[in-house]
Copies of this chain bind each other. A is one copy, B any other.
Amino acid sequence: MAVTGTNQSPPALSATAHDGDDSLPVVLIHRFPTFTGSLFPSLPTHFRLLDLLTTDASNLQSATAILCVGPPPPVTPEFLDRFPSLKIVVCSSVGVDHVDLPECRRRGIVVTNAGSAFAEDVADYAVALLIDVLRRVSAADRYVRAGSWPVKGDYPLGSKVSGKRVGILGLGRIGSAIATRLAAFGCQIRYSSRKEKPSLPFAFYKTALDLAANSDVLIACCALTDETFHVINGEVMTVLGKRGVIINVGRGSLVDEKELVEFLLRGDLGGAGLDVFEDEPHVPKELFALDNVVLSPHSAVVTPESIGTLQDVVIGNLKAFFAGQPLISPVID
């Protein structure tokens, strides 16, 4: 998750500027050296922040809480060994595939994520990608900017959004927000999820394959786990069919990217709207020439307006942890 762009000149990371009041609870900051943003200006007023990149490790044996910011480095068993007192890993992202969840559970360490802070932003963007692919918005914009309209005439029509059967892979906070939006377009919503949700008015399919067989569009917005790695594979693409569309706002590896490129190049898939890729920031160059794909640099996740909400979730989780209260957004493995 990239919440600050390099073009945005964010202020320096708060943790490097303020080690904070000695009487405050200690929170370790886990980040890549390249992450220099400051998401959480209120953080130092509540906690004593110790940046793992700039703090002497011998001081950290008693730390119980770690905050992962930016797209953080992996939280592996070896990493956890360095912090024997650790009880909580607070992540500023929705996806926590950088954290070894089974290992955390084994050690009694709880993990929290961004909760619903970004659900609206991701859902908004997913809908934009879907309409864009079906109605060819970005491609038509290129057509106009290239000066082709007066020369080549009208741009070919796209395909209708209303009425489409949309299969949502993962009906969590983001998936539900997507469903609410697309239902208002008159799309027929169906889903696949770890568990059926009988209270919802949408058809449930047990597998991605069944979902694909009953959908015109597949939207991937589930967590990336061992079970969901390449959940959209060649078989699913075949069943989705030549006019089928894939939208991915989850993680790149939910989709077998190599297969996806092959299917698109052969014309065996109708189109794709991709915000995430298997080897970011690298995007398969074969896609650059295709007008039935929309390519997005992991932009769905957040807007400046949502960062305040994220700060509330992060600080709320840390405060609840230190107060022994229920956490706001624990990750259920």
- 9-residue interface stretch from A58-66, A99-107, A118-126: A118-126
C-alpha spacing A214/B68, complex, angstroms: 40
A159 contacts chain B at the CB level, 8 A cutoff: yes
C-alpha spacing A320/B137, complex, angstroms: 37
Question: Which residues of the other chain, B, contact A295 by a CB distance below 8 angstroms?
Answer: 140-141, 144-145
List the number of copies, as a whole number: 2
Is the beta-carbon distance between A305 and B160 smaller than 8 angstroms? Answer: yes
A243 → B minimal CB distance (Å): 12
Question: Which residues of the other chain, B, contact A288 by a CB distance below 8 angstroms?
Answer: 144-145, 147
Is the beta-carbon distance between B143 and A297 smaller than 8 angstroms? Answer: yes
Contact-size category for A? 35 or more
Is the beta-carbon distance between A161 and B124 smaller than 8 angstroms? Answer: yes
With A8-B156, A154-B6 as known contacts, state yes or no: A138 contacts B138, CB within 8 Å: yes
With A144-B295, A305-B163 as known contacts, state yes or no: A282 contacts B150, CB within 8 Å: yes
A198 contacts chain B at the CB level, 8 A cutoff: no
A134 → B minimal CB distance (Å): 8
| Nearest B residue to A2, CB-CB | B154
Is the beta-carbon distance between A155 and B5 smaller than 8 angstroms? Answer: yes
Is the beta-carbon distance between A303 and B158 smaller than 8 angstroms? Answer: yes
A51 contacts chain B at the CB level, 8 A cutoff: no
With A138-B138, A140-B296, A181-B184 as known contacts, state yes or no: A157 contacts B125, CB within 8 Å: no
Query: Which residues, 284 to 305 on A, are CB-close (under 8 Å) to B?
Result: 285, 288, 294-299, 302-305
A24 contacts chain B at the CB level, 8 A cutoff: no
With A4-B154, A185-B181 as known contacts, state yes or no: A137 contacts B303, CB within 8 Å: no
A162 contacts chain B at the CB level, 8 A cutoff: yes
Point out the residue from B138, B140, B285 that lies within 8 Å of A137, measured CB to CB.
B138
Question: Which residues of the other chain, B, contact A4 by a CB distance below 8 angstroms?
Answer: 154, 157
Is the beta-carbon distance between A153 and B185 smaller than 8 angstroms? Answer: no
A7 contacts chain B at the CB level, 8 A cutoff: yes
Q: Which 10 A-B pairs have the closest CB atoms?
A: A6-B153, A184-B184, A128-B131, A160-B305, A5-B154, A160-B303, A144-B295, A120-B162, A149-B281, A124-B161
15 contacts between A and B (CB under 8 A): A4-B157, A7-B152, A120-B161, A120-B186, A124-B185, A125-B131, A129-B137, A141-B295, A142-B142, A143-B297, A149-B280, A149-B281, A153-B281, A157-B304, A160-B303
Residues in chain A within 8 A of chain B (CB atoms) = 2-8, 120-121, 124-125, 127-129, 131-132, 135-138, 140-145, 147, 149-150, 152-163, 180-181, 183-186, 280-283, 285, 288, 294-299, 302-306
